[in-house]
């Protein structure tokens, strides 16, 4: 299922490298020997989790349904216009950000404000595209992957390290 989820995100314009780059920018000031490869690995470990895969699939499905006009009003307009007061996209993605504890929440809030790299591109409402959920999902994955690195470096490798 992990490969399927990765493929679905790529179809929507998000590569794991893009997310790993965000993780690197967040964590490299605290870990000067950090590599992009380690960030990519951490990103993969986050997506390895079934609960994360479920959030990603749900968010992507809602973006796609909205794009196709298959959601009832008034919700359709709310999602398509990415209304600032609609916080369900953040709430959903927060479920990813918190899997490695509260450090992820801080990073998520930061990313949501700064919108670095691919997040800004996703937010740049391209004609006919709806990425209301996807930008937050990217933030959630990056925040979790960054928190995972913070924990791993603090206490040694963590137990989910199976690959």
Query: Which residues here bind Mg ion, judged by CB under 5 A?
Result: 89, 132, 135-136
To Mg ion, the closest distance from the beta carbon of 100 in angstroms equals 21
Here the tokens at position 85 are: 């007061």
To Mg ion, the closest distance from the beta carbon of 84 in angstroms equals 9
To Mg ion, the closest distance from the beta carbon of 139 in angstroms equals 8
Here the tokens at position 136 are: 């937050």
Name the region of 24 (left: φ>0; alpha: ψ -120 to 50; beta: rest): alpha
Q: Which residue is nearest to Mg ion (CB)?
A: 89
Here the tokens at position 9 are: 């995100």
Name the residue nearer to Mg ion (CB basis): 38 or 135: 135
Return the axis-axis angle of helices 103-114 and 88-97, rounded to nearest 10°: 140
Name the residue nearer to Mg ion (CB basis): 38 or 112: 112
Q: Rg of the Cα trace of the chain?
A: 15
Name the residue nearer to Mg ion (CB basis): 18 or 89: 89
What is the rounded distance in angstroms from the CA atom of residue 151 to the CA atom of residue 68? Answer: 41
To Mg ion, the closest distance from the beta carbon of 70 in angstroms equals 19
Name the residue nearer to Mg ion (CB basis): 18 or 136: 136
Local structure of residue 162 (DSSP, 8 states):
-
Name the residue nearer to Mg ion (CB basis): 43 or 132: 132
Q: What is the 3-state secondary structure (H, E, C) of 75-102?
A: HHHHHHCCCCCCCHHHHHHHHHHHHHCC
Here the tokens at position 59 are: 């968010």
């Amino acid at each position: 299922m992990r490969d399927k989820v990765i493929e679905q995100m790529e179809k929507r314009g998000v590569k794991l490298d893009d997310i790993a780059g965000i993780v690197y920018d967040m964590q490299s000031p605290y870990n000067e020997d950090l590599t992009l490869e380690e960030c990519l690995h951490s990103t993969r470990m986050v997506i390895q989790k079934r609960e994360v895969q479920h959030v990603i699939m749900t968010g992507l499905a809602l973006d796609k349904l909205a794009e196709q006009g298959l959601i009832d009003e008034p919700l359709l307009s709310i999602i398509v216009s990415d209304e600032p007061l609609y916080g369900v996209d953040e709430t959903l993605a927060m479920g990813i950000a918190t899997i490695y504890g509260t450090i992820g929440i801080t990073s998520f809030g930061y990313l949501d404000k700064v919108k670095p790299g691919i997040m800004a591109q996703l937010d740049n409402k391209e004609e006919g595209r709806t990425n209301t959920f996807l930008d937050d999902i990217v933030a959630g994955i990056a925040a979790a992957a960054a928190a995972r690195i913070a924990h791993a470096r603090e206490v040694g490798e963590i137990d989910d390290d199976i690959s």
